[in-house]
Amino acid sequence: MADEIPILDLAPYFAGETGALPALGAQLRRAFTEVGFYFIRGHGVPQAMVDTGFEAAARFHAQPLEAKLAMPFNRDNIGYLPMRGNTSRMNAVEGIKKPNANEAVFFKRELPADHPDRASGRRFRGPNQWPADLPGFREAALAYAGAMEELGRRLVPIYAVALGLPADWFADKFREPMFTLRMTHYPQQEATSPEDEWGLAPHADTSFMTILAQNKVPGLSLRLPGGRWIDAPALDGAFLVNGGMMLRRWSNHTFLATPHRVTNRSGGERYAIPFFMDCDYDAVMAPVPSCVTTENPAHYQPFTYPQFMEEYTGANYGERAAAGVALQGA
């Protein structure tokens, strides 16, 4: 199905070739108005970096459960979320399903201890939690997140051009982008598992941009605008990129937030290391001017990252608080 998902070659753009950026903008616009996903090649991220990210995810989830539970998922959306620890609600499609059959650990930007956001207790800006006895894990996770942030920031001008804006239109909104690195473990789902149980139920992402390293273990499917589900192929050396509800809101419904799902019936363990990138914490996301017309008036009031994420977290992770799991912050 690779021919249904556009493939963008970034190498000419990164090399500064004349005409490369407008060409990519046109390709990206097609991707986000017809499919909602695209592959990137020529991105410059070494395969060794990707391999290290997957290895780190496997090492983390191989720990005893008590070691992982010592890093409880908290009000900043940081930490370990145990198996079936959340249910897709706000971003669900095709109805709300059973709790997701995966376990995951979440990390955000590593802020210095004296950062004013740490001192003020701003939500989603708290300190990361790290495993107590997993040498090299913190360094590997931060290196991968850093590589993904750099790649994401280099992609942002393409989004501006795709929306008919100057290439630097988003620049002041991505000075210090919010991001989340999620390391997920999908255990093998048995043949006897209920049909309505998913590793990750059909949903749309929340993000402006999700960068997904290619996984040799199948399981990811996406729903095309016509309603047909296809299995996402794994292209060697590529990343799969999609947008979420933030991008859809910001683009005033010009760009898609394509539903997708995960089920692991491969016979083995499956790991994923999606990187979710958004704008700066305080950036105001008003509908992009080029996307507001008489035929398509503004659908949303301006909003910020914390405003959106508080709504999403309350809907999808609220049961963690109801169950008495620590959400009071680190």
Q: What domain range includes position 292?
A: 2-322
Q: Could you tell me if residue 268 is inside a domain?
A: yes
Residue 284 has pLDDT above 70, yes or no: yes
CA 111 to chain centre: 20
Q: What mean pLDDT is reported for the chain?
A: 91
CATH at residue 262: 2.60.120.330
> Could you give the C-alpha distances from 155 to 9, 82, 93, 167, in angstroms and in order?
12, 33, 28, 10
Following CA atoms 241, 247, 251, 253 in sequence, which dihedral angle do they give, to the nearest 10 degrees?
A: 90
Q: Is the Cβ–Cβ distance between 124 and 77 less than 8 Å?
A: yes
Report the domain count for the chain: 1
Q: Is the Cβ–Cβ distance between 317 and 325 less than 8 Å?
A: no
Q: Could you tell me if residue 237 is inside a domain?
A: yes
Nearest one of 84, 132, 77 to 105, comparing CA atoms: 77
Other C-beta atoms closer than 10 Å to the C-beta of 121 total 11
| 86-105 pLDDT, tens digit each | 777 766 666 667 788 899 99
Following CA atoms 164, 166, 168, 171 in sequence, which dihedral angle do they give, to the nearest 10 degrees?
A: -50
Q: Could you tell me if residue 95 is inside a domain?
A: yes
> Could you give the C-alpha distances from 129 to 109, 132, 281, 297, in angstroms and in order?
11, 9, 20, 43
Other C-beta atoms closer than 10 Å to the C-beta of 293 total 11
Q: Could you tell me if residue 329 is inside a domain?
A: no
**pLDDT tier at 1 (50, 70, 90 boundaries)?**
very low
Q: Is the Cβ–Cβ distance between 184 and 86 less than 8 Å?
A: no
| 24-61 pLDDT, tens digit each | 999 999 999 999 999 999 999 999 999 999 999 999 99
Q: Could you tell me if residue 328 is inside a domain?
A: no
For every residue of 219-230, DSSP letters joined together read -EEEE-TTS-EE
The alpha carbon dihedral of 8, 9, 10, 13 has a sign of negative
Q: Could you tell me if residue 131 is inside a domain?
A: yes
What mean pLDDT do residues 165-171 have? Answer: 98
| 238-255 pLDDT, tens digit each | 999 999 999 999 999 999
Q: Could you tell me if residue 327 is inside a domain?
A: no
Q: Could you tell me if residue 286 is inside a domain?
A: yes
For every residue of 127-154, DSSP letters joined together read -----TT-TTHHHHHHHHHHHHHHHHHH
- Return the amino acid letter for 313: T
The pTM of this model reads 0.92
CA atoms within 13 A on the CB side of 303: 20
